[in-house]
Chains A and B, each alone.
Chain A
Amino acid sequence: MLQLPALATAMVGSYPQPEWLIDRASLGKRLPPRVRAAEIWRVPGPLLQGAQDDATRLAIRDQELAGLDIIGDGEMRRESYSNAFANSLGGIDHDNPGTALDRTGKPNSVPRVIGPIVRHTSTLVDEARFLRQCTARPTKITLPGPFTLAQQAQNDFYVNPRELALAYADAVNVEIRELHAAGIDIVQIDEPYLQARPEQAAEFGLEAVNRAVRGVAGMTALHICFGYAHVHNYAAKPNGYSFLPELEASTVDILSIEAAQPQLDLSILRRLPSRRIMLGVISLGDLNVESPDTVARRIDAALVHVPAERLLAAPDCGLKYVSGEIAMGKLRAMVDGVALVRGRRR
């Protein structure tokens, strides 16, 4: 398994897509798409993949230049973190989408499940291979987790939401294995809705997550958060999760937890003694670039509860809605903050 240094740095998932690739203003004005939203791309169909490849190359290079230890593809090819994978599955009615309430409380078009969830070939494995070719550093790829997938769907087939989530978990499980087989070091499932829907999370969230990663040989991660700051209009966030210590019983290796913007009470980390913690040390609710000192203080505050060997550093969430300049500034600040802490520990 991958050897990680103490306080390894990574992005959570998305990096800002360039304006020549995607209509950022249009993307920023709407809820994250759950069905396909091809209209937001600026490059015509036959040229789009080449353009996405180029944007991905730049995102990878930016992470390397910022000094990140673990490199992702920045989700350059995605309209949202979840919709490509969600809509690649069989059992979805593509002609008649459903509706579901987003965690902001607003209705959003979602995949409508009319039959058994089946995993067909997705594009993620090709994307994983591309990422592997572009960097020699450890790699991480993200995909939506089963609980969140079930929350972002209209269920017109399964008896109850739990059955739907478990069906999604089986599809995600196959994908995780294929991504590891393609050479990706860490596969991360994104489960923000574990925090958004705590009652259902308590019922079957852990079961769905563990089913998604069962028997998986490589390293896994799970991301949980309070939602994109931009999408939530930079509203204040609670300083505690409704669902988190339960994940101590999960079999994912790394828990990626938003912490900076909500000023999370970090004592909760003591209830996760056997998990690695990828802690959010960069806020996306404040567009000012942090000083390395601020980042170092956030890490020090976590080190009171978690030893450095189990701690990784990341931004709170995806950088999709932040400008390229701010994203790069924040990543550099994060790496510099980690360097300060590493320097003091020697």
Chain B
Amino acid sequence: MALGNLLQTLPPLPTMLVGSYVQPDWLIDRHALSRRAPPRVPAPDLWCVPPAQFEAAADDATLLAIDEQERIGLDVIGDGEIRRESYSCTFVAALGGIDSQHSGTAVDRRGKSAPVPRVVGPITWTRSVLAHDVALLRSRTSRPIKITLPGPFTLSQLAEDHVYDSPGALAMAFAEAVNAEVRALHAAGADIVQLDEPYLEARRDAAHEYAMAAVTRALAGAAGATALHLCFGYGPIDRGHSKSGRYALLPELERTPVDIVSLEAAQPGVDAAVLRDLPSKLILWGCLDLGTTQVDTQEVVLQRIRAAINVAGAQQVMLGPDCGMKYLPRAVAEAKLRVLVSCARIARG
């Protein structure tokens, strides 16, 4: 079993990113990026590099992120989502059925209208856009590697649909495409493939209705370890919005085939007792508060780690930041991760 093999190569309490890392200033206009909601459709105006040079520049920036994670000492290495304007837009823009000329509109989790993909034909998957980053990872590091992509429920919430009978049907259509990508990414050598589903907590009623069927479909027949990330939004850009800290869907997630559940926990102060709802899952526990540029102290991070271990057991817990680190200053992101790595070593005893 792929998960078992993976766990054997990892130390207890392995450390990793959730998804995004800090993109270099010479690649993307970070100031402009931080002043808007995460782009749901590609936003080429954000990039600093002209299209002819973009792929090589994005490759170099990704290699830098990979090298930095290794230097910091993370056990599982991700691509840092360096070549993406947002966690979701790159994948969805490559799908068939999406209008590449005109975007639609939808209301995001903050209640604001934003451009979103416009579904004008049946959703189809033709080729992987993320396998390239898996190949970069595989060639650059010998550590286990993780790649992320948007989950089907979140995709269905951030689209303007002109084709399907219901949002549930749209979610299932996205699930087919996500499933094809998941398989391609494992085949390309990814050790963990993670679905990002932040809207499970933003749209709970809809999630109760049709999210789990979509998630299950998206993960069907996965040949390697799978993960699912949920959270209450990006710390630095959702600072003004209170985070409830209460997860509503964990018992339902327990019944899906996902191996690892990644949970934001530090910033909203989630009680580790919620892990009792996920007895069969590995937990990627959010130990770094990304809502502040203050570097988390060792004392506080150790408390967070031990709280998770006390409920779920040391064998079941993995350690990461709360969410993507895209919006943090570079030095802050590095410093926070270094605290995480040193606390993991202490907690291993």
> Is residue A20 contacting chain B, with contact meaning CB distance below 8 A?
yes
Please list the residues of chain B having a beta carbon within 8 angstroms of any beta carbon in chain A: 24-27, 48-49, 53, 56-57, 60-61, 63-64, 67
A61 and B49 CA atoms in complex are apart in Å by 23
Q: How far is the CB of B233 from chain A (nearest CB, A)?
A: 28
Q: How far is the CB of A136 from chain B (nearest CB, A)?
A: 11
Contact B25 A47 (CB under 8 A): yes
Cβ contacts A to B, 29 pairs, < 8 Å = A18-B57, A18-B60, A19-B53, A19-B56, A19-B57, A20-B26, A20-B27, A20-B49, A20-B56, A20-B57, A20-B60, A21-B26, A42-B49, A43-B26, A43-B48, A50-B24, A50-B26, A51-B24, A51-B25, A54-B24, A54-B60, A54-B61, A55-B60, A57-B67, A58-B60, A58-B63, A58-B64, A61-B63, A61-B67
> What is the chain A residue whose CB lies nearest that of B49?
A20
Q: How far is the CB of B24 from chain A (nearest CB, A)?
A: 6
Other A-B pairs, 17, CB within 8 Å; known A51-B24, A54-B61: A18-B56, A18-B57, A20-B27, A20-B49, A20-B53, A20-B57, A20-B60, A21-B26, A42-B49, A43-B26, A47-B48, A50-B24, A50-B25, A54-B26, A54-B60, A54-B64, A55-B60
Residues A35-61 near B (CB distance < 8 A):
42-43, 47, 50-51, 54-55, 57-58, 61
Contact A51 B26 (CB under 8 A): yes
Q: How far is the CB of B80 from chain A (nearest CB, A)?
A: 13
Residues of chain A lying within 8 A (CB to CB) of residue B24: 50-51, 54
A43 and B61 CA atoms in complex are apart in Å by 14
- Per-position contact with B for A55-80: 1 when CB-CB < 8 Å, else 0? 10110010000000000000000000
Q: How far is the CB of A59 from chain B (nearest CB, A)?
A: 11
> What is the chain B residue whose CB lies nearest that of A43?
B26
Residues of chain B lying within 8 A (CB to CB) of residue A57: 64, 67
Please pick, from B26, B57, B64, the residue contacting A47 in the complex, using a CB distance under 8 A: B26
Q: In terms of DSSP, what is the predominant structure of the interface of chain B? A: helix
Residues of chain A lying within 8 A (CB to CB) of residue B26: 20-21, 43, 47, 50-51, 54
A33 and B183 CA atoms in complex are apart in Å by 51
A42 and B27 CA atoms in complex are apart in Å by 11
Q: How many A-B residue pairs have CB under 8 A?
A: 40
A58 and B140 CA atoms in complex are apart in Å by 12
A58 and B24 CA atoms in complex are apart in Å by 13
User: What is the number of residues of chain A that contact chain B, defined by CB distance less than 8 Å?
Assistant: 14
Residues A1-27 near B (CB distance < 8 A):
18-21
A216 and B56 CA atoms in complex are apart in Å by 42
A98 and B147 CA atoms in complex are apart in Å by 55
> What is the chain A residue whose CB lies nearest that of B24?
A54
Residues A137-155 near B (CB distance < 8 A):
none
> What is the chain A residue whose CB lies nearest that of B67?
A61
Residues of chain A lying within 8 A (CB to CB) of residue B49: 20, 42
Q: How far is the CB of A101 from chain B (nearest CB, A)?
A: 35
> What is the chain B residue whose CB lies nearest that of A64?
B67
Residues of chain B lying within 8 A (CB to CB) of residue A18: 56-57, 60
A43 and B57 CA atoms in complex are apart in Å by 12
Q: How far is the CB of B281 from chain A (nearest CB, A)?
A: 36
A18 and B57 CA atoms in complex are apart in Å by 8
> What is the chain A residue whose CB lies nearest that of B330?
A50
10 residue pairs, one from A and one from B, having the closest CB atoms = A20-B57, A51-B26, A43-B26, A47-B25, A19-B53, A20-B49, A20-B53, A47-B26, A54-B64, A61-B67
Residues of chain B lying within 8 A (CB to CB) of residue A51: 24-26
A51 and B26 CA atoms in complex are apart in Å by 6
Q: How far is the CB of B73 from chain A (nearest CB, A)?
A: 15
A54 and B63 CA atoms in complex are apart in Å by 10
> What is the chain B residue whose CB lies nearest that of A20?
B57
Residues of chain A lying within 8 A (CB to CB) of residue B25: 47, 50-51
Q: How far is the CB of A77 from chain B (nearest CB, A)?
A: 13
Q: How far is the CB of A325 from chain B (nearest CB, A)?
A: 11
Residues of chain B lying within 8 A (CB to CB) of residue A58: 60, 63-64, 67
A52 and B158 CA atoms in complex are apart in Å by 38
A54 and B24 CA atoms in complex are apart in Å by 8
> What is the chain A residue whose CB lies nearest that of B56?
A19
A151 and B49 CA atoms in complex are apart in Å by 38
Q: How far is the CB of B92 from chain A (nearest CB, A)?
A: 26
Residues of chain B lying within 8 A (CB to CB) of residue A43: 26, 48
A85 and B26 CA atoms in complex are apart in Å by 25
> What is the chain A residue whose CB lies nearest that of B25?
A47
A50 and B26 CA atoms in complex are apart in Å by 8
